Amino acid sequence: MFIRFWGTRGSIPTPGEDTVRYGGNTSCIEVRTDDGELIILDAGSGIRALGMSLLPEMPLDCSIFISHTHWDHIQGLPFFTPLFVPGNSFTIYGTPDPVSFKTIKDALSMQMEYRYFPVREAELKSSIDYVTLNENQVVEVGAAKVSTIFMNHPVLCFGYKIECNGKSLFYTGDHESYRNIYSHDDDDYKEYEEIIIDKHNNIVDFMRGVDVVVADSQYTTEEYAQKIGWGHSTFDKSIEIAQEAGVKELYLIHHDPLRTDQGLDAILKDLRKKYRDIGVNIHAAAEGGTVEF
């Protein structure tokens, strides 16, 4: 299996001299199976450059899995050039909206209305199918199996596990570690604690033993104290859950827009020192970086 990072930034694109090495584009990951199937995880601003790189391979038959519909995970889709080209085929998968009862097609079509973008979704020339997924659903993409699990985020967000020919990858999308919202002396504390432990264990079991995990790790533990409820994890929590699940290779992603290359270097150095004996190889995902296993 082959992975290339096209967007590693969280929340908003941050181009500039301070983000050159780790990247300023928002979430987008290219996955190639050993059989040559192309799977794209999220369509942040990084998908624009990915699209340009794919032009020599046309016609394309590609699956795009959207973790959730916050802007930084879908904003690049209108600039994904292969969507405009006849003969290309795409299946776009994603979450439903339980509040408005809208599908993934509704959400993605809306950002291409004339008030937001000059080309409507209906005017795209490629063949596009939309599939709204459920939790614990398995999608077959050639020889690969893509499985879903709900993560903890302010909107419904899927984590995706890709398995093919004995190799596996888990991408969290955006995820905040579960926490008890009640005080210890509250009557509801114990019941809620059991619920969040069960949810945490479900995620651990889902990702247990995969070869590579790509995990939302936007904040330091100190920063998180001011960002509780925003839907993102800390470096420490991502490492701890990877260890708990027996994962060997962990790529930290969704870098905070205020985080410079130098800042990430320093954090990565400290993390590797702090967790040097736990059996998890810790990496910071970098735009243009590749992983092959």
Domain that holds residue 212: 2-290
**Residues of the chain where predicted confidence (pLDDT) is lower than 50:** none
Using an 8 Å Cβ cutoff, are 162 and 39 in contact? Answer: yes
Domain count, the chain: 1
pLDDT, position 191: 93
230-275 pLDDT tens trace: 999 999 999 999 999 999 999 999 999 999 999 999 999 999 999 9
pTM strictly above 0.85: yes
pLDDT, position 173: 98
**204: closest CA among 161, 245, 233, 258?**
245
The answer for residues whose C-beta is within 8 angstroms of residue 72's C-beta and 6 or more apart is 9, 10, 11, 12, 13, 26, 27, 44, 45
**What's the distance, Cα to Cα, between the start and end of the chain in Å?**
5
Q: The domain spanning residue 205 has which CATH number? A: 3.60.15.10
pLDDT, position 242: 98
Q: How far, CA to CA in Å, does 189 sit from each of 181, 182, 186, 196, 234?
A: 8, 5, 5, 11, 24
Collapsed DSSP state (helix, strand, coil) of residue 291: strand
pLDDT, position 115: 94
pLDDT, position 106: 92
